Amino acid sequence: MTGASSVGSLTTGAWSSQAARSSAAPRLLPAGWPLTALFLGFPLWWMLGLATFAFILFAVPMAIELLTRRGLRAPRGFGMWLVFLGWLLASAAMLWVDAPGAEPGGGGAGRIIVFGYRAAMYFSATIALLYVLNMPERDLPTRRVVRLLGFMFVVTTCGGLLGVVAPGFAFSSPMELVLPEGIASNEFVTSMIHPAAADMQSILGYDEARPIAPFSFANSWGANFSLYLPFFVLAWLGRGAGWRRWVAPFVLLAALVPAVYSLNRGLWLALGVGGCYLAVRLAAMGKFWALNLIGAVVVIGGLAFALSPLGTMVQQRIDAPHSNDRRADLAIASVRAVVEGSPLLGFGSTREVQGSFFSIAGGATPECPACKPPPLGTQGQLWLVVFSQGIVGLALFLAFFCRQFLAHWRKRTPLAIAGCCVLAFFGIELFVYDTFDAPMVTVMITLGLLARGVPSAAQEPNQAGGSP
């Protein structure tokens, strides 16, 4: 590969001349429209029951545009990711193999559909990375992408507030109405096409609503909240933010409420680590005024938090770690099954646990719905990758993202710091959240932005102008 320090070329050809020809060609739709339509239209896609599938659908026009270009660029180390994708496809051969500790059989169409969906999400995220990196700055300004992701933080916050004030809000989407009953009633499919504001769970010893809108699960909401946050700060509090700068503090204050009500300890841990990382970077850069400002905001916000009912709820969640043992047992069982049954390729997809962790005949009951554990390979992207693609697949997956973080963590631009915060959040949440849909797309878009390099002064991501 040739090119800049963090970017290589996938094919031969003159990038600059091709970009010029592409920009000069007449367009029926504005440049970069798939990303704009995906994110600005996300509330609509959620109401239609298409929120999860929108990432796949809009990856199609992105891929078509990429196919018209020559000299495609990719981040350094992208070869590892391509090998991982190949390993992912190879693991499909194990879909019909029984895993130790899992229910035997069951390798029918359902398992193939789930594998296909996850594979499509991985490839869609890859296309999003290449699309952002290879679109010329004049056609898809960095500031526009940053603001679109910042807008998604606002959407996530609004959805979270809806889950707090109207936890019972839900309705049948058009997608549910058009799909055959046998498919629409499937639990996995229903979770993706049935819009709901919150999920009722008994974590604190009583039924508590955990916000999920506009996503499918409470943990997905938490992961997306953290990954969009750095872009919101960059776009709404940075230079040239305009009117956004005055609104941003109120948005952040409002966001605190659903962040607590989500009961997402992984989210809280990620935000704490991100705050420490940001403080260290600012101190190393000598920006002590910014460090003092962050400290003042933390102290004031902490006092307001401690004196409100939110502080009590956080303490109750910390005192109720009942899911820890189940998560640990599931992770151990997932890794053991891979080591004993298929260390190289994994098993292609998740499997139902045989019985429970307490009894071979155990399972869910009306009195104890949580007695049936989640499938092997869930409750964390790390465990999903190792169970589905084996130890080799996990090594390729982790090596790629570590390579990207190491390539940018010393850079001092606001975009690089925000991007590294996203990667740090992602690294923590790999252990507790399944991140193969919206979070994975956000992370890959982040890598595309980082690999672009620093835009010119007139094109910095927090300059005024652009949308939304």
pLDDT in tens, 241-261: 888 989 998 998 899 889 888
Q: Does the structure show a pLDDT above 80 at 112?
A: yes
Average pLDDT over residues 253-281: 83
Q: Does the structure show a pLDDT above 80 at 322?
A: no
pLDDT tens track for 355-394: 765 444 445 444 445 557 888 888 889 999 999 999 999 9
Q: Does the structure show a pLDDT above 70 at 294?
A: no
Note the helical H segments in 49-180: 51-67, 78-90, 109-134, 142-165, 174-178
Q: What is the reported pLDDT for 453?
A: 72
Q: Does the structure show a pLDDT above 50 at 20?
A: no
Which tokens hold the place of 243? 């009117």
- Computed over every residue of the chain, the mean pLDDT equals 82
Per DSSP, which regions of 157-276 are E strands?
Answer: 198-202, 207-211
pLDDT tens track for 182-203: 777 777 788 889 999 998 876 6
Q: What is the reported pLDDT for 410?
A: 86
Q: What is the reported pLDDT for 115?
A: 92
pLDDT tens track for 26-44: 568 888 999 999 999 999 9
What is the total count of domains within the chain?
1
Residue 342 lies in a domain: yes
Q: Percent of the chain, pLDDT > 70?
A: 77
Structural domain that includes position 184: 7-19+26-454
Distance CA 407, CA 416 (A): 10
Residue 75 parent element (H or E): strand 73-75
Among the listed ranges 81-95, 255-269, 313-327, which one has the minimum average pLDDT value? 313-327
Residue 375 lies in a domain: yes
Among the listed ranges 79-88, 115-124, 146-155, 175-184, which one has the minimum average pLDDT value? 175-184
Q: Percent of the chain, pLDDT > 90?
A: 48
Residue 119 lies in a domain: yes
Residue 466 lies in a domain: no
Q: What is the reported pLDDT for 142?
A: 95
pLDDT, greater one: 400 or 291: 400
Q: What is the reported pLDDT for 24?
A: 45
Residue 468 lies in a domain: no
pLDDT band at 147 (very low <50, low <70, confident <90, very high): very high
Q: Does the structure show a pLDDT above 70 at 101?
A: yes
Provide the 8-state DSSP code for 455.
P
Residue 460 lies in a domain: no
Distance CA 40, CA 36 (A): 6
Distance CA 233, CA 219 (A): 22
Q: What is the reported pLDDT for 9?
A: 59
Average pLDDT over residues 447-459: 70
Q: Does the structure show a pLDDT above 90 at 59?
A: yes
The residue among 195, 214, 238, 211 whose CA lies nearest residue 153 is 214
Provide the 8-state DSSP code for 276.
H
Residue 349 lies in a domain: yes
Beta bridge partners of 198: 211
Q: Which residue type does 434 have?
A: D
Residue 467 lies in a domain: no
